[in-house]
Amino acid sequence: LPKEAHETGMLSLDKTKNKGELKQWLKEKDGVLSWKLDGLTIVLTYEKGRLIKAVTRGNGEVGEVVTNNAKVFSNIPLTITYKETLVLRGEAVITYSDFEKINKELEEEEKYKNPRNLCSGSVRQLNNEITAKRNVHFFAFALVRADHRDFENSREKQLIWLESLGFEIVPYKKVSGDNVEKTVENLERKIPEND
């Protein structure tokens, strides 16, 4: 696959498993708490309302161009109403139920270890007919660039706007220091049933 440098580098995020640290980090601010989906991060670029490019995260600075494969994801809009340059990030995933269905059809030595590996292999196929059969979903999680749009530094407003354009967005909850610990606990309880 051809390689291409990202316009804006994708850095790793800080991590914590301590809900108290998250509460401390928020302080008096509101935040957006969402699932961390385990798939393959993809950067989409639209020009004049058309999908023109899809690039994997790669090493955060350079990724692989997978535009033809992204065009056959089950839920990516190929055209949108916004006509200026739009760059967004999201996660390509294959659900656990689709993973199990696909793995059953493969020979033992071809089976994938987990949905993330299956998704990565599916998105990086040279033949997008294979990708199309794998039912890859895309969940937008970050807006990188939207010319002449002001979201008042609000991640929630960005996500709502992306959803209005036809993108499926990563499910999220609005949180504050007062409720973030309880909200994390509620999400933790839903992990086993999250396909």
Sequence-ordered list of residues with C-beta below 8 angstroms from that of 65, at least 6 positions apart, any chain: 1, 2, 3, 4, 53, 54, 55
> Is the Cβ–Cβ distance between 188 and 36 less than 8 Å?
no
Tokens of 101: 């269905």
Beta strands in the chain (DSSP E): 3-5, 31-34, 40-47, 50-56, 62-64, 86-93, 137-146, 172-175
Q: Which entry of 27, 36, 104, 113 is annotated as an active-site residue?
A: 36
- 36 catalytic? Reply is yes
| 149-153 LR contacts (CB < 8 Å, sep 24+) | 149/84
Distance CA 30, CA 120 (A): 34
Residue 15 token pair: 């991590």
Active site residues: 36
